[in-house]
Each structure stands twice: as C-alpha cells, then as structure tokens.
Amino acid sequence: MKYTLEAVYENGIFRPLRPPELPEGQQVRLMVET
C-alpha cells in the first residue's frame, strides 16, 4: 500500500495530523519530504 500522510515531528516522534489507515502495530517505512 502507498499513500501520503502528513505528520509533525515532535519529541522524537512523527505524529500524524489525521489517523492513518493502518492496523495498530503495523510497521511502516517513512520517506521524509520537507
């Protein structure tokens, strides 16, 4: 699955701006674009 999810990086954690469409505990690969 591939989609774009906007997030904020705070205190060492990426916090999504809306709930992701993923099951709890799902491992993901992040590609960062600033």
* Res. 6: pLDDT tops 90: yes
**Exposure of 34 in the CB half-sphere (CA atoms within 13 A):** 2
Q: Cα separation of 32 and 24, whole Å?
A: 21
Question: Residue 7: what pLDDT?
Answer: 97
Fill in the DSSP letter of residue 17.
Answer: S
Average pLDDT taken over every residue of the chain: 95
Is residue 19 within 8 A of residue 10, CB to CB? The reply is no
Number of domains comprising the chain: 1
Residues ≥6 apart with Cβ < 8 Å to 5: 16, 17, 18, 20
Q: Cα separation of 16 and 8, whole Å?
A: 6
Could you tell me the residue range of the domain that residue 24 belongs to?
A: 1-34
Q: What is the mean pLDDT of residues 13-17?
A: 96
